[in-house]
Structure formats: C-alpha cells, structure tokens
C-alpha cells in the first residue's frame, strides 16, 4: 500500500490480500452461498480452456457479518491518502453460474434473488459509510463479458438473453446504491476483462453496449494478457453507456 502512495496514487487499496478471490468473502460471510462449477471457462491464446468455480445460492441469502468493513478499518489506520474498498458487483453472484445460480425451489424468480442480494449490498455499504469509507468500487465483470459475441452466444445457450442480463445487472447496481447514491462517497464501477495468468474470460477488443442509466460512474484500468496497463475509455449519451477497451 505504501508503494502505491510512493508512486503518487491518490487512492490506495490493500490489494484484497485477505480474500482467496475477489468474491470469496461473499460466500464465506453470507448465509446461503456455496461454491460450484462455473458455466464459463478461461481460455488462452492457443484456445485451451480452463474451468473455474463460481458462487451459487443453496439457501435464502442473509448477511450474517460484515464483508469488507475490517479491510477498511485497517486501511483507515495506515493509509496517508484516500483508502478504497472494492466489492464484486451484484452480477458476480449470478452470472458465472449461468442457469444454475440457484435451485428454483429456493429462488423461483431472478428478481427475487437480486432483491435479497442487493439488500445485503445496501447493508454493507451503509456499514462502510458509517465507518467513514470515502471510496467504494464495484468490480463489474459480467457486463464487460457480455460485450463479447462468443459469450453472448454462450449466455443464450444457458437460456439467457445478453441484453436482458445487462439491464438486470445495471438495475442491481442501482438497487444496491438506492440508499447511498453519491451523497457521501465516490461509487465507481470498473469494467474488467477478467484474467488469470495469461488466460481470460472475455475476448475481442471490446464493444459498445446499451442499457439504462447506471448510478455509479465508470472508472477503471485493466491489464491485457501481456500485463501492460491499458486504459478503458467510456462515453455516455442519454441512457447509452459504452465501454471500449484499447
């Protein structure tokens, strides 16, 4: 963290070192989540695919303890500049598992699932806000993945429509921020091409997608497969939201 400060970054994070993955704490600290096989896979330049795991709901969801508050309390003590907390976007807990994100007997309706999930986000963000957290970042991967034509077809094979999912995920972000907005904290979303040691989930050079207005402003930098910094450019036109990677 001090290295981030030394190079001049105005916002720092502890690097999620307490997490086995960026979404792991949601499984560990929310009653009802478990880990299963993901519907998608990483692939490399040769086309070799590597499966991975994903969260799914095996029971009704309930927040039983803080998710990232302890990370912020540590950062608040040691950071000399603005401390930032990262959270997986709500879509993370739905998209990767595909149609097996839950048992239909537990959540018969996707929006019912997101109603419980976004309540947990609101509870967590409220806790962070009360502790003085000035910067919360949502890591939004699924929307970026749904810019890839191959993954849009994969979603279709899972019985999902990519554009409907994008609208659903934007709505979930808005619901997660319903009581918080931009009043007390910076609340960016970062679109990512998820990587794992030379493998990736999303291909192509990006795409423009359409959807409703998202109440978190876009901001982000992604790594490409060769670990160079590549900026992510955004533009907005009315209710149009776009992200193109260069």
Delineate the domains of the chain, giving CATH numbers in brackets: 2-245 (3.20.20.210)
CA-CA-CA-CA dihedral for 74, 57, 178, 245, to nearest 10: 80
Count of CB atoms situated within 10 Å of the CB of 171? 17
pTM given for the model: 0.77
* Element holding 77 (H helix, E strand): helix 69-78
Q: How far apart are CA 142 and CA 226, in angstroms?
A: 22
CA 191, CA 11: separation in Å to the nearest integer? 18
Q: Are 191 and 220 in contact (CB under 8 A)?
A: yes
Six-digit token pair at 5?
Answer: 């400060």
pLDDT per residue, tens digit, the chain (246 aa), is 889 999 999 999 988 888 888 888 889 999 999 998 888 777 767 777 777 889 999 999 999 999 999 999 999 999 999 999 999 999 999 999 988 899 999 999 999 999 999 999 999 999 999 999 988 988 888 988 888 888 899 889 888 899 999 999 999 999 998 876 544 444 544 444 443 333 334 444 444 444 456 766 555 544 444 444 444 444 343 333 333 322
CB within 8 Å of 105: residues ≥ 6 apart: none
- For the CA atoms of 103, 109, 110, 115, the dihedral, rounded to the nearest 10 degrees, stands at -110
Give kind and range of the element (H or E) at residue 49.
Answer: strand 49-63
Distances (CA, A) of 93 to 96, 172, 225, 233: 7, 11, 25, 26
């Amino acid at each position: 963290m001090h290295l981030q400060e030394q190079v001049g970054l105005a916002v720092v994070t502890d690097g999620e070192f307490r997490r086995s993955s960026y979404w792991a704490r949601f499984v560990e600290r929310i009653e009802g989540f478990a880990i299963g096989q993901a519907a998608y896979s990483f692939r490399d330049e040769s086309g070799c695919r590597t499966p991975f795991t994903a969260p799914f709901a095996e029971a009704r969801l309930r927040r039983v303890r803080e998710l990232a508050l302890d990370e912020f309390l540590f950062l608040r003590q040691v950071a000399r500049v603005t401390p930032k907390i990262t959270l997986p976007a709500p879509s993370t807990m739905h998209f990767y598992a595909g149609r097996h994100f839950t048992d239909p007997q537990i959540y018969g309706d996707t929006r019912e699932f997101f109603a419980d999930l976004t309540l947990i986000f609101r509870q967590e963000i409220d806790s962070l806000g009360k502790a003085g957290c000035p910067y919360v970042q949502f890591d939004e991967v699924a929307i970026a993945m749904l810019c890839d034509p191959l993954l849009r077809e994969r979603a279709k094979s899972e019985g999902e429509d990519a554009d409907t999912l994008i609208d659903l995920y934007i709505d979930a972000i808005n619901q997660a921020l319903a009581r918080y907005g931009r009043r007390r904290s910076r609340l960016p979303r970062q679109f990512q091409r998820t990587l794992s040691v030379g493998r990736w989930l999303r291909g192509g050079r990006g795409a423009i997608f359409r959807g409703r207005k998202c109440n978190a402003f876009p901001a982000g930098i992604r790594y490409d497969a060769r670990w160079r910094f590549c900026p992510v450019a955004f533009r907005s036109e009315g209710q149009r939201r776009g992200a193109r990677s260069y």
